[in-house]
Amino acid sequence: MTPSPGPSRPSMASEDPSRPSMASGALGLLPGALGLLPGVSHLTSHGSWQPVIGLEIHAQLSCSSKLFSGASTTYGAEPNTHASVIDVALPGTLPVPNRAALDKAIRFGLAVGAQIAPHSVFARKNYFYPDLPKGYQISQYERPVVSAGRLSVRVDDGRTIEVEIQRAHLEEDAGKSVHDAFHAATGIDLNRSGTPLLEIVSAPVLHSPAEAVAYLRTVHTLVRWLGICDGNMQEGSFRCDANVSVRRSGETKLGTRAEIKNVNSFRFVEKAIEYEIERQIRALENGESIVQETRLYDAAHHRTRPMRSKEDADDYRYFPDPDLPPLVVAAADIAAIRATMPELPAERRARYQAELGLPEGDAEQLCVDRATADFFEALLAALKGAAPGSGAAGASPHGQAKIAANWVLGELAAAQNEAALPIEAARVTPAQLAQLLLRVGDGTISGKIAKDVFAAMWRGEGDADTIIAARGLRQISDSSALEAAIDAILAEFPKPLADYRAGNDKLLQFFVGQAMKRTKGQANPQQLNALLREKLAP
């Protein structure tokens, strides 16, 4: 798999632009209070209308071969070099299901507490299109492998909503039509044809663009966490269609919906839904009616436009695929997969808060992807291992966890972001970072110096001890040396000294700064402070 182009957490955060401000504060409601009142979030920005949104997420399963053939799923190869006779739909070829894809679907199902069908059925979705070689797509229709799951989703305004996942089913991807490579002709690339997808369908229970995006991000985190999808939106491994309708507040019947197709970033999903809600409200308030149709999001103009309406929508003539017997999942298969399930993001978040005493925000950010959380765990383990049971970094276990979290989310994330490297490729290992934090804890260096040492470690100049020794960064805790430095400063700055003694307390910082300068930043800050106060006293 091609690594994603940047550290996923920061890059995704950066995709989150300023949204129309949420008005919960303005309404005088405490953040979180809305969570107790499901269905009232429309109060936030859509007047007396309630948007109703359901998402269909297509997650490309991280399988090395296709759903029904042995061809490779590697992205970006020469056109039609990863298309077997099955993917090209030559006569007489037959599909054979990829068991690894089924296992990944089950893994997702278990993670959302869903039912796993003991028999699920592949069906054919029939339509003609040049990049659909068989003239039908093999999907699951009436009996999907995963049904009736739930996912807790934290919305940016602090609420947690429970999103019902109606189903998740296996299906194969189509090929690609290439419109710009040939003069007056369309090329067909079947490399993607037959790639395994998991289509995850939420119930229409989301009521704002923010809720929809929060849900989408939660699923995105989960599928990567489970190792079943690389989540790469640029390459199309994770994409989403949104079904959007609006209804008058209090109305229980769903309004006529429009489906917005294939929106390929979190930002665009939010913008497209926002636009679509406004469009529908405007239309209804003008006395028009909504047409059930498929719409495309035009990112350049921030609007949606009709693609096809229901009148000319295809009749897909679904029927069970006679080439494929029902997929049988035995209880033992489920148990075997359950036994290898990782701790889920929500569980780990809760543990970080409960056992490590981390603030909710830190726990949330650490668990945004598994690699970050695993880095953090390895860092904690290395700290404990270095000085078992001692609160090695000179802090209580909780304090130590907080320090570790600060470093992972602070210096490390910043360095990754700048170098555009995912955490898996971080240039400082958890063990190396632990050594650095231990040197802060035992007083060898200050926290401030530690940042410089970290930067040097990131540049590959060696481990923390080597850099501290080579650069002579060891902190000055020798009180006679510090006293000598202070005496010299006091002699040099008689005027500030007099002012301080006359009552200008603010000048303390001036003397701290001067002392640090004189000791090249190596003075032990606590000790320096104590000695200064003592000497400055009239």
Q: Which residue has the tokens 């909503």?
A: 161
Q: Please, what is the minimum distance in Å from the beta carbon of residue 27 to another protein? A: 46
Question: 2 vs 319, which CB is nearer to another protein?
Answer: 319
The region, left, alpha or beta by phi > 0 then psi within -120 to 50, assigned to residue 405 is: alpha
For another protein (CB under 8 A), the number of binding residues is 29
Any idea what DSSP says for residue 1?
A: -
Q: Find the binder of another protein among 54, 109, 133, 397 (CB under 8 A).
A: 133
Any idea what DSSP says for residue 411?
A: I
Q: Find the binder of another protein among 27, 85, 291, 481 (CB under 8 A).
A: 85
Token duo for residue 101: 């894809």
312 lines the binding site for another protein (CB under 8 A): no
Q: Contact region for another protein (CB under 8 A) — 298-306, 317-325, 381-389, 427-435?
A: 317-325
77 lines the binding site for another protein (CB under 8 A): no
Q: Please, what is the minimum distance in Å from the beta carbon of residue 316 to another protein? A: 8
Instruction: Determine how many CB atoms are found less than 10 A away from the CB of residue 308.
Output: 14
CA distances from 69 to 12, 60, 63, 207, 280 (A): 34, 15, 11, 40, 43
Question: 250 vs 322, which CB is nearer to another protein?
Answer: 322
**Residue-by-residue DSSP string for 188-202:** EE-SSTT-EEEEEEE
Question: CA angle, 143 as apex, 311 and 66 as ends, to 5°?
Answer: 90
Q: Are 304 and 258 in contact (CB under 8 A)?
A: yes
Question: 71 vs 358, which CB is nearer to another protein?
Answer: 71
CA distances from 37 to 111, 171, 223 (A): 26, 37, 29
Q: Contact region for another protein (CB under 8 A) — 17-25, 289-297, 316-324, 404-412?
A: 316-324
Q: Which residue has the tokens 């996923």?
A: 8
Q: Please, what is the minimum distance in Å from the beta carbon of residue 123 to another protein? A: 10
Q: Please, what is the minimum distance in Å from the beta carbon of residue 102 to another protein? A: 13
89 lines the binding site for another protein (CB under 8 A): yes
Q: Contact region for another protein (CB under 8 A) — 239-247, 315-323, 418-426, 495-503?
A: 315-323
Which ranges of 287-343 would DSSP assign to H, the alpha helix? 331-339
Question: 182 vs 472, which CB is nearer to another protein?
Answer: 182
Question: 92 vs 503, which CB is nearer to another protein?
Answer: 92
Which ranges of 258-390 would DSSP assign to H, the alpha helix? 266-285, 331-339, 345-356, 360-366, 370-386
Q: Please, what is the minimum distance in Å from the beta carbon of residue 97 to another protein? A: 7
**Rounded Cα distance, 412 and 407, in Å:** 6
**Rounded Cα distance, 230 and 371, in Å:** 12
Q: Please, what is the minimum distance in Å from the beta carbon of residue 166 to another protein? A: 21
Q: Which of 122, 509, 475, 133 is nearest to 318 (CA)?
A: 122
Q: Please, what is the minimum distance in Å from the beta carbon of residue 64 to another protein? A: 18
**Residue-by-residue DSSP string for 440-457:** HHTTSS-HHHHHHHHHHH
Q: Are 505 and 457 in contact (CB under 8 A)?
A: no
Q: Find the binder of another protein among 1, 27, 77, 90 (CB under 8 A).
A: 90
Q: Contact region for another protein (CB under 8 A) — 132-140, 194-202, 207-215, 216-224?
A: 132-140
Question: In this structure, is the dihedral angle defined by the CA atoms of residues 241, 245, 251 and 252, taken in order, positive or negative?
Answer: negative
Rounded to the nearest 10 degrees, the angle between the axes of helix 370-386 and helix 397-407 is 130
Q: Find the binder of another protein among 38, 113, 288, 319 (CB under 8 A).
A: 319
**Residue-by-residue DSSP string for 42-77:** GGGTSTTEEEEEEEEEEEE---SB-SSSS-B--TTP
Q: Find the binder of another protein among 49, 75, 136, 297 (CB under 8 A).
A: 136
Instruction: Determine how many CB atoms are found less than 10 A away from the CB of residue 117.
Output: 21
Q: Please, what is the minimum distance in Å from the beta carbon of residue 91 to another protein? A: 4
Q: Please, what is the minimum distance in Å from the beta carbon of residue 116 to another protein? A: 20
Q: Please, what is the minimum distance in Å from the beta carbon of residue 188 to another protein? A: 7
Question: 298 vs 314, which CB is nearer to another protein?
Answer: 314
Question: 43 vs 83, which CB is nearer to another protein?
Answer: 83
315 lines the binding site for another protein (CB under 8 A): yes
Question: 85 vs 354, which CB is nearer to another protein?
Answer: 85
Q: Contact region for another protein (CB under 8 A) — 15-23, 93-101, 234-242, 331-339?
A: 93-101
Q: Contact region for another protein (CB under 8 A) — 323-331, 411-419, 445-453, 493-501?
A: 323-331
Q: Please, what is the minimum distance in Å from the beta carbon of residue 291 to another protein? A: 19
CA distances from 532 to 424, 480, 514, 525 (A): 45, 13, 11, 10
Residues 171-200 that bind another protein (CB under 8 A): 188
Q: Contact region for another protein (CB under 8 A) — 87-95, 219-227, 364-372, 482-490?
A: 87-95
Q: Which residues bind another protein (CB under 8 A)?
A: 85, 88-97, 124, 126, 128, 130, 133-136, 188, 315, 317-319, 321-325
